[in-house]
Amino acid sequence: MAMPNVKGLTTKKCQPCGKNTAPFSLGQAREYSAQLPGWDLAGDGKSISRQYAMKDFLAAVQFIDKIAAVAESEDHHPDLHLTDYRKLHIELATHSIGGLSENDFIVAAKIEQLPKELKK
């Protein structure tokens, strides 16, 4: 499999995963996650996640709104957890197949491109 690149992922659109779609192997997940610095691959290779320390609560909520717009346009939705008023944890997995698909990396790459106000 050719090494993916983040720029290429941001130009793609998420595709529905059918019942026969296999989740990425651990090797595939590692290849894709290597292209997304800052995103962590779960030990079992079934999800990716990222933590942001936002400038403040309002910056976190505004960033969540931007993520929501991406998720809706891609019809692929991350789990979002906001704690301590500005710590945002994002987790992506393709629940219908029990692991990762290219869709997770497409959404993660698009999230990376979003403007955000981080804690300095």
- In the predicted model, residues of the chain with pLDDT beneath 70 are 1-7
pLDDT value of residue 94: 97
pTM of the model: 0.93
| Enclosing H/E stretch for 22 | none
pLDDT value of residue 47: 98
Residue 92 is given by DSSP the state E
In whole angstroms, what is the distance from residue 74 CA to residue 39 CA? 19
Residue 69: CB atoms within 10 A of its CB come to 12
pLDDT value of residue 19: 82
Please check whether residue 27 lies inside any domain of the structure: yes
Please check whether residue 118 lies inside any domain of the structure: no
Please check whether residue 55 lies inside any domain of the structure: yes
**What does the pLDDT look like over 56-73, one tens digit per residue?**
999 999 999 999 999 999
Task: Give the domain range for residue 43.
Answer: 6-10+22-113
pLDDT value of residue 14: 97
Task: Specify the CATH number for the domain of residue 78.
Answer: 3.30.1360.20
Domain count, the chain: 1
Please check whether residue 119 lies inside any domain of the structure: no
